[in-house]
Each structure stands twice: as structure tokens, then as C-alpha cells.
Amino acid sequence: MASTEVARLAVADLVDAVALSASASWNQNEADWRLMLTLGRARGIRAADASGTERLAASAAALPYGSEFAWVSMVLVLPEFRGRGYATRLLAHALDELAWRGIAAILDATPAGRPIYLPLGFVDCWRFSRYRREAPAAASGSRSPGTAEVSEAIAVRPPRDADWPAILRIDRPAFGADREALLRSLAARLPNAARVAERDGRITGFVFGRDGREATQLGPLLAPDTATARALLEAALSSIDGPVYLDLTDRHADLLPWLQSRGFAFQRPFTRMIRGLRKVPGDPAPIVLVAGPELG
């Protein structure tokens, strides 16, 4: 990759890509970047630092879901290379390529990023917020607010191979595209946290997760109601000892008292934004936790 030229990233760039995430205190690890390089396309710019050493200075990625839209993410620049327009170039390159292919763009913007994306034609759809738990909350003999008993009619268990058609029948209409490859990858990444919920012998919801550079990330989680969402979260969280991130959609804010009773604290908000679509794909009502700003 020649200096300051935009070029496609490959597996050989994994170490440098993870360094970009670390420089911004983002949670992506090597497995996340490998996933994005396998299922999507990432571009980067290499430049010489003060010592003359050429480094991966900036990145941007696009993860396509079918032929209608792609997820734009990983717009990152090393601190010593900021202010040179690298992020703008890479973002423009990604958006131009998607437009040429007739594919719309979706992204999850921080409050700092949203003013940058609005002039590029992105419009707001809905919001979610990140919450973090440092460690499992101490057990208590009495229930905390929002911790009502989960219905015995809801059974939660690890997924089986035969469950995938039912999982995808829930996910496709909600997300608006087929993301089977992503979900299968997440199920393999963190199998102890992968769960499905059943009611009357029918799968009604699921949750997956993944290991991260700073914390385990739970999501996506799809459920038809709060009781099912709590049952899935309880089961997944019981398998995780260390720090946990989850990205809770605002429409399911009724889960907040329950999460706070388990040690989760607010981190930052995000806005889901679209470009080239009249409305957000799918019906997001069942989406309780998103997979993460980098995955959708």
C-alpha cells in the first residue's frame, strides 16, 4: 500500500487495524476485524509518522447485507494523523463505491459524528445507548426494582443447528436483510452466551455475543416482549464474569431499571442513520440490543 493512497485492507493488516481501534478506545479485537474483512470491505491509508515509519493511519469499512444496503463503520484515524482529511477521503470513497453499486448506506453515529454525516445526506432513524457492567452485581436476597419474575412459560436454552431457520425467520423481517453469516459467526465466537427463548415449543427470541478488546459485547438480542428479553439477558449474563457492553434501543428503555439493578451504567448514545433509503429497513420493534455500531 503506497503512502497516503487509499487501498483495500487485507488479513495482513489485522495487527495495524486493531491498533487503530485501540487508539480510539474502541472494543474491536482481531476477530472483529477479520469478520469485517471477510464479509465486507475495508479501506485504509498508510502514511509516514514523525520517525519516517509507514503506518496504517486511517480506515473505513463497509459491510454489505444483501444488495440493498451496507453498514459503514470503522472510520478511524490515529491521533498523530488527524486533521489531514484522511477520514473524509476514506468515507467519501466508501460512499461513492456503494452509490456506484446501487447500495444504500447505514451507520450508527455518535453525537460527535452525527453533524458530520447530516450534510452527506444521512437522516436520523432511531436511537440506542451503550451501557457497561464492570462485574456481576452481588447477589441479593430481595429483588431490585424492575426484576419481576420471568414467566415459567418461557424456556431459555443454547441454540441447536435445527434452530437456525426459526432464528432467521425472526431476524430477517426485523433487521431488513439476511445476516445469517454474521449471526453464525457470533454464535461460534461466544457459545456460552448464545441463547434462544421458547414459548409453547416455538422459538420467539434469541441473543448472541462476542468477545471484545475491552469487554464482552452482548447483541443482537431480539424478543417479542420484555419478559422474553429479560430471560435471555439473565441467561447470557450468567455466563460472563468480566466487563460487558450492551447497546439498548430506546424503544426498550423499560429494561433500564432491571439492567441498572445488575450493575449497568450509561456510556454514550448513538443515532442510527440512513442514506439512499426512504425508511429504515425492516421492522425494528423486536430489536432490543443491536449487534454493535460496527455490525448493525
Q: What would the pLDDT profile of 46-77 be if each residue is shown by its tens digit?
A: 999 989 999 999 999 999 999 999 999 999 99
The pLDDT of residue 138:
60
Q: What are phi and psi of 57, to 5 degrees?
A: -90, -25
CB distance 248 to 255 below 8 Å:
yes
Domains and CATH numbers, the chain: 6-102 (3.40.630.30), 128-289 (3.40.630.90)
Phi-psi category of 162—alpha, beta or left, where left has phi over 0 and alpha has psi -120 to 50? alpha
Express each pLDDT in 164-180 by its tens digit.
999 999 999 999 999 99
Report pLDDT digits (tens) over 236-259. 999 999 999 999 999 999 999 999
Residue type, 29: N
Low-confidence residues of the chain, pLDDT below 50?
1-2, 139-149
In this prediction, residue 143 carries a pLDDT of 40
Distance CA 286, CA 249 (A): 10
Identify the CA nearest to 205 among candidates 189, 219, 215, 191.
219
CB atoms within 10 A of CB 214: 16
Tell me, letter by letter, the H, E, C secondary structure of the chain. CCECCEEECCHHHHHHHHHHHHHCCCCCCHHHHHHHHHHCEEEEEEEECCCCCEEEEEEEEEEEECCCEEEEEEEEECHHHCCCCHHHHHHHHHHHHHHHCCCEEEEEECCCCHHHHHHHCCEEEEEEEEEEECCCCCCCCCCCCCCCCCCCCEEEECCCHHHHHHHHHHHHHHHCCCCHHHHHHHHHHCCCCCEEEEECCEEEEEEEEECCCCCEEEEEEECCCHHHHHHHHHHHHCCCCCCEEEEEEHHHHHHHHHHHCCCEEEEEEEEEEEECCCCCCCCCCCEEECCCCCCC
CB 247 within 8 A of CB 129: yes
* pTM of the predicted protein model: 0.93
pLDDT at 1: 45
Torsion of CA 171, 158, 267, 273, to 10 degrees: -10
